[in-house]
Chains A and B, each alone.
Chain A
Amino acid sequence: EPEVTQTPSHQVTQMGQEVILRCVPISNHLYFYWYRQILGQKVEFLVSFYNNEISEKSEIFDDQFSVERPDGSNFTLKIRSTKLEDSAMYFCASSTTANSGNTIYFGEGSWLTVV
């Protein structure tokens, strides 16, 4: 069964360093998302992406964050200068359409620890 894959599964980085989280969405999907989950808290929407541009972003997704689809398969989330509060599980997701009834499929997550 097709799945969303994410790398790395776990990354430890020093505060102030840049981090890139990578994702390979399901191949026939057109809409891509990043969500995050701080330990013990709810899952939060960060950004949605379609046709090589951001469709919507939350207030969490400030200038320190960026997304990119550098080629036909990868979808990346970059955090320019990490802060301690960026420590979280970051989930990439994809769907065939943005229709609100369409299921979003999630990857296994990338656990980011900022020290």
Chain B
Amino acid sequence: AQKVTQAQTEISVVEKEDVTLDCVYETRDTTYYLFWYKQPPSGELVFLIRRNSFDEQNEISGRYSWNFQKSTSSFNFTITASQVVDSAVYFCALSEGSNAGNNRKLIWGLGTSLAVNP
């Protein structure tokens, strides 16, 4: 069965600290996709990144970086030099490749609430 686990419910850091949000997934498929979304206090879901199961290269986008490790089924997200505007709930999600075609849905983790304090 597919499952996404975000073990950290809440994290609080001081501005400029680095912070890593953990995501562990379960799937039987060899082809799958992983996503991170940000949900700021205003409530919308903002797409951050997509990674497919065949690409284990780490990715960096500004202060954001992602570490995908198939061996441990993890897709962790690091924010470097955190800022107050990074305060949000961050969701990790999984989509399985075997459901290509019309039947595609995202399986979500419970989210990690990040508070960055000045």
Contact = CB atoms under 8 A, between A and B. Distances in A.
| Interface residues on chain A, size class | 20 to 34
Interface of A: 31, 33, 35, 41-45, 48, 50, 55-56, 58, 89, 91, 93, 95, 98-109, 111
Nearest to B4: A42
B101 to A, nearest CB: 6
B52 interface: yes
A55 B43 contact: no
B109 A42 contact: yes
Contacts of A43: 45, 91, 93, 106, 108
Minimum-distance CB pairs A-B, first 4: A55-B102, A106-B45, A108-B44, A45-B105
Interface residues of B, number: 31
Interface of B: 31-33, 35, 37, 42-47, 50, 52, 91, 93, 95-97, 99-111
Contacts of B42: 108
Contact of B104 (A41, A44, A48, A107): A48
A95 B109 CA distance: 21
Given A108-B42, A109-B43, A100 B111 contact: no
Given A43-B108, A103-B50, 12 more contacts: A31-B104, A48-B104, A55-B102, A58-B105, A98-B100, A98-B101, A99-B104, A100-B97, A101-B95, A107-B44, A109-B44, A111-B43
